[in-house]
Chain A
Amino acid sequence: MSGATGTVLLARLLRWETMLAVVFICEFVLFASISPYFLDVYTLSDATFNFTERAIVALPLALLIIAGEIDISVAAIIALSSVTMGLVASTGSGTGAVVAAGLGTGLLAGMVNGVLVTLGRVPSIVATIGTMTLFRGAAYAVLGDRVLKDYPPAFAAFGQGYLAGPLSNELALFLLFALLFGVFLHYTRWGRVIFAVGANPMASRFAGLAVNRYRFALFATTGFFSGLAAVLLTSRLGSTRPSIAQGWELEIISMVILGGVSVWGGKGSILGVVLAALVFGLITFGLGLMNVPGIVMSIFVGMLLILVVAVPALVERLRPGRVKGA
């Protein structure tokens, strides 16, 4: 084998997605050997519930981060959407109206973010720290310490139902949207523009691209999918508290970054995000099998998040003879 093909092969192997896949397989084997219940199809299917809702938000958020922006308010949007749904449901409305209220609230909230960033020209970190406080605050202001749980019976189907056999509605939705987002990002010209906007927004504008329109659309999409996640989560839990989905922004952002999306924008893949979601879900599930409490899980999530960005930086630092600007 010549040196050149060797290098190419090594580069392939070291690709982020490949490493994630290897981690996924290792996890799988590890948990299968630890717990006898693990390999059951229905157990595995159950396991998907603990990440699909988050992963559904991670897809549009990946696009947003690739475009050089960030949305920290996603979990707060889920809470606000859930509260709206609860209020609509408490008036005795049908399932259709409840779902529409959830999706609509998410979309509106996302549009608020989009307006702040595009028209208001506020950096997205600051804007969404603000709306995160505002949306979550609105949920608390409206609900206080009350709980909403008057959901119509048919509503439970979204988060608890199965499409076919062990394939849950949630998982099916996630897989469908993952495919759509993947194709959109990697094979269409609009995807190209998203990468360009993230890599250099100014140059994109001077290439005649409508940068702000893309930003707005991406914030609105992220909001809409947060609304969708709210529908699924609320349907699964059957109740709404203002603290619903607390801290999820961390896990969703971690999924995206673990998926190899660059926090500096301009780089990333949907395949990576999907694999990261699977790795993530499996860790949660596996630790659950071993009776590790959720808060300890957050140590793993935090360390994973930092390791994912630290390892490439360390490798870069330690690589001999790197070019340090000529």
Chain B
Amino acid sequence: MSPPVLTLTDIRKSFGGVRALERVSLELPAGCVTALIGENGAGKSTLVKILTGIHQPDGGEIRIRGTPVRIADPLAARALGLGVVHQECQVFDNLSVAENLFIRAQPTSRGLVDWRTMRQQADAVLRDLDAGFDAGTPAGRLSIAQKHVVQIARALTHDSQVLILDEPTASLSQRECAELFRIVRKLRDAGRAILFISHKFEEIDALADRYAVFRDGVSVSAGALADTTRDELIRLMVGRPVEQLFPKLETTPGAELLRVESLSRAGEFEDISFTLRRGEILGVYGLVGAGRTELAQTLFGVTRPTSGSMHLAPDAAAAGIALVPEDRQSQGGILDFSLAANVALTNLARLAPRGWCSGARERALAAEWIDRLSIRAHGPGQVVRSLSGGNQQKVVIAKWLARAPGVLILDEPTKGIDVGAKAAVHRVTSEFAQAGGGVIMISSELPEIVGMSDRVLVMRRGRLRAEFTRQAATGDALLRAASDA
């Protein structure tokens, strides 16, 4: 094994008394992809922020090729050869791709920005990556996947020897992931050290050579991926064995609950027809951009269809449709409100039938659901922002389940939440279906779709392409139907 490019020893960091990193050590060898895994709150993002120069460690040592360094700010990080691809695309939509690559480091002649040279250098980097777009393109016109490529290109422009990928695939489709992985492998083979942060074991298996596991701010294990198993990694991450990831409860679907007939919305999806039955979990699989989220929003009623119709069973129509949106932070809940206020928001008509609100009634309702979904919170008064991601998602689900909807639509319900919370979300989803509700579950995670669904619809480019029974829905078949092949 080649000597490490980046070495972290006993890094510590606290925020106002809260330990984010307690004792973290990590080695990144050249020409090697190291996967960093850990539950949410294990300290991964704090580490990234330290390596980016946003935060300063309280203690410990960072060495690059054996020399101790201090990463004072993002510019210093760049100068030291540390490049980061952030999860939430740090790209300037209002600037061209070329400028995105060279921001704060534009080539100049006589003190003025030299646009021609900048364009040429940027185009050279993009060609190297087979990016498929040129440097003059305004970044706002690129897809999310292409923006990730822009971030990688930015790192290469500054000749970064260490590339940190922070959950880059969270919002990418399978095909876009494959493209991204191709580029990452190319960089690895060129001798760069790569840190790959991900929640998805399929991707880790596909891409990584080595692994490092963080738990509660401590690095608990590291080594070659070939020497371990997935179960072992999960055990290291969670610190306890997880018996069953997808506790699906078997149900026999009943009468028809929802019928959608050639529903279309211009530019988003076209001619969608399907039925949903009582007690059924209907999975909707597809690549990002296939129109699934848009369909969910129209079914829920945030947007209107341009044509087509939907028919709900009378009782379900009265109970309504619930949507747990993909973007938990901005659409799912009001983070600055208490848990009780969030749960009350969808139940105002019931909690305040004549218009008069009662704090006691609201707290009682929230307390009931904290109990039922085992939400880890101090009480109904706790502000949602201070909960972990998984518990925030449970609050969003609770606020809808409390309303007893006829149909529950879940859009990427377990994206970015830890294993324990994931199992809990799957449990309540299953229970809701078993009690006679209908569930539409949109997910890009094959194991989740395959494990949970009674039936799977596959969307591609705004249209329904295939339907699978639970038995026929294998990962392979779904993937083929979803991609253009």
Contacts and interface: CB of A to CB of B under 8 A. Distances in A.
| Chains A and B touch each other in the complex, with CB atoms below 8 Å apart | yes
Interface of A: 187-193, 195-196, 199-200, 202-209, 266, 321-326
26 contacts: A187-B356, A188-B356, A189-B355, A189-B356, A191-B357, A192-B352, A196-B341, A196-B345, A199-B336, A200-B335, A202-B330, A202-B331, A203-B332, A203-B334, A206-B323, A206-B331, A206-B332, A207-B399, A208-B300, A321-B17, A323-B15, A324-B15, A324-B16, A326-B18, A326-B45, A326-B46
B355 A203 contact: no
B485 to A, nearest CB: 34
B345 A207 contact: yes
A203 B384 CA distance: 13
Nearest to B323: A206
Interface in B310-352: 320, 323, 325, 330-337, 341, 344-346, 348-349, 351-352
Contact of A204 (B320, B345, B352, B356): B345
Given A188-B355, A196-B341, A202-B330, 16 more contacts: A188-B352, A189-B351, A190-B355, A192-B357, A193-B345, A193-B348, A196-B337, A200-B336, A203-B330, A204-B334, A206-B300, A207-B346, A207-B399, A266-B336, A324-B15, A326-B20
Contact of A203 (B18, B46, B333, B348): B333
Contact of B18 (A189, A190, A209, A323): A323
A195 B355 CA distance: 15
A192 B345 contact: yes
Chain A CB within 10 A, most for which of B15, B301, B320, B351: B15
A322 B345 contact: no
A187 B355 CA distance: 8
A199 B331 contact: no
Contacts of A323: 15-16, 18
Contacts of A191: 357
B302 interface: yes
Number of chain B interface residues as a range:
20 to 34
Interface string B32-62: 0000000000000110000000000000000
B404 to A, nearest CB: 14
Contacts of B399: 207
A209 B345 contact: yes
A299 B335 CA distance: 37
Contacts of A200: 330, 333-336
A216 B40 CA distance: 41
Contacts of B302: 205-206
B325 A196 contact: no
Top 7 A-B residue pairs of the complex, sorted by shortest distance between their CB atoms: A189-B352, A189-B348, A321-B16, A206-B331, A323-B16, A200-B334, A188-B355
Contacts of A188: 352, 355-357
A326 B323 CA distance: 29
Contacts of A199: 334, 336-337
Contacts, number: 77
B397 to A, nearest CB: 13
Contacts of A322: 16
A247 to B, nearest CB: 33
A58 to B, nearest CB: 24
B330 A192 contact: no
Interface string B1-44: 00000000000000111101000000000000000000000000
B73 to A, nearest CB: 15
Nearest to A208: B346
A186 B335 CA distance: 20
Interface string B124-141: 000000000000000000
Interface in B420-457: none
B441 to A, nearest CB: 17
Contacts of B344: 192
A74 B336 CA distance: 30
Contact of B325 (A190, A206, A209, A326): A206
A190 B355 CA distance: 7
Contacts of A326: 15, 18, 20, 45-46
Contacts of A190: 355
Nearest to B41: A326
Contacts of A204: 334, 345
Nearest to B348: A189
Contacts of A266: 334, 336
B334 A192 contact: no
B416 to A, nearest CB: 15
B336 A203 contact: no
Contacts of B349: 189
Interface string B371-409: 000000000000000000000000000010000000000
A190 B332 CA distance: 20
Nearest to B352: A189
A207 B402 CA distance: 13
Given A206-B323, A326-B20, A196 B334 contact: yes
A209 B20 CA distance: 37
Chain A CB within 10 A, most for which of B301, B302, B348, B399: B348
Contacts of A192: 341, 344-345, 348, 352, 357
A203 B331 contact: yes
A209 B320 CA distance: 13
A113 to B, nearest CB: 24
A204 B337 CA distance: 12
Nearest to A186: B357
A326 B301 CA distance: 35
Contacts of A195: 337
B394 to A, nearest CB: 16
A96 B171 CA distance: 62
B50 to A, nearest CB: 12
A325 to B, nearest CB: 8
Contacts of A189: 348-349, 351-352, 355-357
B358 to A, nearest CB: 9
A15 to B, nearest CB: 17
Nearest to A193: B348
A202 B399 CA distance: 16
Nearest to A267: B336
A326 B16 CA distance: 10
A206 B335 CA distance: 14
Contacts of A209: 345
Interface string B275-309: 00000000000000000000000001110000000
A323 B332 CA distance: 24
Nearest to A191: B357
A205 B330 CA distance: 11
A210 to B, nearest CB: 10
Chain A CB within 10 A, most for which of B45, B345, B357: B345
A267 to B, nearest CB: 8
A105 B121 CA distance: 60
Nearest to A266: B336
A182 to B, nearest CB: 14
Contacts of A187: 356-357
Interface string B151-187: 0000000000000000000000000000000000000
